[in-house]
Amino acid sequence: MNQKQTLDSIRPGERAVIQQLNVSGQMRRRFLDIGLIENTTVECLGRSPGGDPSAYLIRGAVIAIRAQDCRGILIRRPAEPAPWA
C-alpha cells in the first residue's frame, strides 16, 4: 500500500509515527512547539462526540487537534508484531 496517510486516519487506540509536516506558517510553528516532529509516536486517545477535534497523546501531553489540521501531517503506521512473537 503506497497511499499517503494523514494523522486524521488513525482511530482511537491506534498509534502512528509522524513522517512529515505538510503545513506552514503559524500552524507549523505550533506543531513544532508541542514536539510534533518527524519520528514522533502519536496515539489517538479519542474523538469528541461530534467527531472533531480528536485527542492525541504526543510526548506525554494530551493535545486536541482538528481534522482539518491533521490532514497536513503525514504518518506511517508501525509494523505489527508477529502473533507468535
- Looking at residue 79, what is its pLDDT? 74
Report the domain count for the chain.
Answer: 1
**Domain membership of residue 10 as a residue range:** 5-76
| Mean pLDDT over the full length of the chain | 89
65/53 Cα distance (integer angstroms) = 5
CB of 17 closer than 8 Å to CB of 78: yes
- The CATH number assigned to the domain holding 38 equals 2.30.30.90
| Mean pLDDT (whole number) for 49-59 | 91
32/54 Cα distance (integer angstroms) = 18
Quick check: is 81 in a domain?
A: no
- Looking at residue 82, what is its pLDDT? 57
pLDDT in tens, 10-48: 999 999 999 999 999 999 999 999 999 999 999 999 998
Quick check: is 84 in a domain?
A: no
- Looking at residue 53, what is its pLDDT? 93
Quick check: is 85 in a domain?
A: no
- Looking at residue 25, what is its pLDDT? 93
